[in-house]
């Protein structure tokens, strides 16, 4: 078992959803079921039914998928804590975009009831911003940050995610992204359009920033019991005011995922538990540093594999 000082928990963002997510956890662990029940009581509709049965076109809507992924991730964490009595506590927690809210719940800075309301409003506003200023996001594979920056300057797009060496995401208006697509391909990069409803983490989110600030100001936060790594600065958030400012800035700022992982490893973390739907973050972490251990826990089967003898994900 890894030492607590060398462990971090990380939580996935939007894009990790699939119909049926969380059903095994809900049926297998009372603590996981309690998370879903608490979220549904707060939201006022059966989120679990949407997660388990879909329809997928409803689940993938931004205002639905954000609370769904958050709740499934926290349910997974609770199940993992129940299954592993000696699970090491994290030295840090972090999440990618939406996952930052899950990290705040895991750190005790935000409760589930408030978190699901907050991310549902976040999702609604992000969708509305996409309607007002149509745009999207484009992953550029195979270029370094300098190359991606040159493309963004030439096309009027913005770097919205720095995920790992050779994987950078651009956000922007539809026409601008089409130019970026052509320019990246001309430089032998691979281009992957993301299935999102707007140009997230860019200036095109600006029209909803003031309203989102009001939403955040109405939520109660507590000082985190564990340092939460900021998506915007890749440094720890330790106070309530800094958390509130982070969540507002994050909506239109670049997600510094590579920098976040590097900060944690520079401060002693050698083992990452990716907790929640999908396996994206484990892959990114290993591309950032091949020497890091990762565990992926997205359901009961994963918990069963690591409970008797922790086998790192391949």
Q: How long is the chain?
A: 314
Residue 30 near residue 112 (C-beta atoms within 8 A): no
The active-site residue out of 16, 48, 73, 97 is 97
The span from the CA of 306 to the CA of 101, in Å, is: 25
Catalytic residue among 201, 253, 260, 298: 201
CB 244 within 8 A of CB 217: yes
Residue 10's SS3 state is: strand
E-strand ranges in the chain read: 7-11, 92-95, 135-141, 158-164, 167-173, 190-193, 228-229, 236-237, 271-275, 293-297
Is 282 known to be catalytic? no
Quick check: 95 and 10 in contact, CB under 8 A?
yes
Taking the alpha carbons at both ends of the chain, their separation in whole angstroms is: 18
Q: Hey, what are 264's tokens?
A: 């944690």
Residue 201 a catalytic site member: yes
Kindly list the distances between the CA atom of residue 229 and the CA atoms of 95, 115, 234, in Å, as whole numbers in the listed order. Answer: 8, 17, 6
Task: Cite the active site residues.
Answer: 97, 201
């Amino acid at each position: 078992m890894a030492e607590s000082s060398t462990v971090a928990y990380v939580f996935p963002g939007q894009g990790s959803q699939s119909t049926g997510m969380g059903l095994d956890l809900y049926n297998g662990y009372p603590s996981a079921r309690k998370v879903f029940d608490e979220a549904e009581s707060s939201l006022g509709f059966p989120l679990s039914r949407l997660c388990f049965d879909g329809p997928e076109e409803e689940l993938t809507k931004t205002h639905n998928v954000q609370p769904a992924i958050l709740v499934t991730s926290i349910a997974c964490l609770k199940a993992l804590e129940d299954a592993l009595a000696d699970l090491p506590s994290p030295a840090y927690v972090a999440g990618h975009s939406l996952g930052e809210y899950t990290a705040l719940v895991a750190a005790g800075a935000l409760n589930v009831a408030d978190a699901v309301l907050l991310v549902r409003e976040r999702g609604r506003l992000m969708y509305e911003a996409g309607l007002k200023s149509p745009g999207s996001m484009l992953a550029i594979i195979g270029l370094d940050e300098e190359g991606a920056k040159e493309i963004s300057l030439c096309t009027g797009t913005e770097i919205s995610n720095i995920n790992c060496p050779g994987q950078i995401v651009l956000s922007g208006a539809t026409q601008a992204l089409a130019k970026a697509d052509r320019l990246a391909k001309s430089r032998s990069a691979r281009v992957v359009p993301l299935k999102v409803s707007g140009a997230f983490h860019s200036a095109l989110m600006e029209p909803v920033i003031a309203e989102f600030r009001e939403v955040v100001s109405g939520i109660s936060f507590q000082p985190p019991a564990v340092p939460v790594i900021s998506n915007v600065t890749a440094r720890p958030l330790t106070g309530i005011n800094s958390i509130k400012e982070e969540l507002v800035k994050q909506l239109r700022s670049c997600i510094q995922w590579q920098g976040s992982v590097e900060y944690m490893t520079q401060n002693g973390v050698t083992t990452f538990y990716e907790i929640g739907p999908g396996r994206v973050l484990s892959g990114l972490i290993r591309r950032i540093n091949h020497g890091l251990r990762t565990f992926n826990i997205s359901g009961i089967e994963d918990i069963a594999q690591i409970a008797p003898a922790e086998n790192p994900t391949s």
